[in-house]
Amino acid sequence: DAGVTQSPTHLIKTRGQQVTLRCSPKSGHDTVSWYQQALGQGPQFIFQYYEEEERQRGNFPDRFSGHQFPNYSSELNVNALLLGDSALYLCASSLAGGNSYNEQFFGPGTRLTVL
């Protein structure tokens, strides 16, 4: 079992550009959540996808958008990048509709640097 995979590992962009990050969930998982982890902070919830729809969203602007595909993989898109978007972006998958009590399995993350 490959677990949760994310690509790319690292990414460098300039302000104003757009970026797409990708995530494949753990086999059998149907729910994908995205988090932003700034240096020295805990993960901050961006949004969660279930059945190809955004089910819940954290306090992030509309520049952050996502998508879930029929095979449960997911993309995170960020438009009009700001310096403050530099962070580790984590994808997490979970089972059975992402019930609140199910633990999440995290990928290794994508390190985004905005110059």
Partner 1 sequence: AQSVAQPEDQVNVAEGNPLTVKCTYSVSGNPYLFWYVQYPNRGLQFLLKYITGDNLVKGSYGFEAEFNKSQTSFHLKKPSALVSDSALYFCAVRGEGGSYIPTFGRGTSLIVHP
What residue ranges bind partner 1 (CB under 8 A)?
Answer: 4, 33, 40-45, 48, 55-56, 58, 90, 92, 98, 100-101, 103-109
Q: Minimal distance in Å, beta carbon 95 to partner 1?
A: 12
Nearer CB in complex with partner 1: 6/114: 6
Q: How far is the CB of 67 from partner 1 (least distance, A)?
A: 18
Judged by beta carbon, residue 15 or residue 87, the one nearer partner 1 is 87
Q: Tokens 């995290």 appear where?
A: 106
For residue 46, the minimal CB distance to partner 1 (Å) is: 10
75: Cβ contacts below 8 Å, ≥ 6 apart: 20, 21, 22, 23, 66, 67, 69
How far is 78 from 16, CA to CA, in rounded Å? 10
Q: Which is nearer to partner 1, 43 or 66 (CB)?
A: 43
Residue corresponding to tokens 């095979």: 71
Nearer to partner 1, 16 or 103 (CB): 103
Runs of H (alpha helix) within the chain:
none
- 15 token code pair: 């302000």
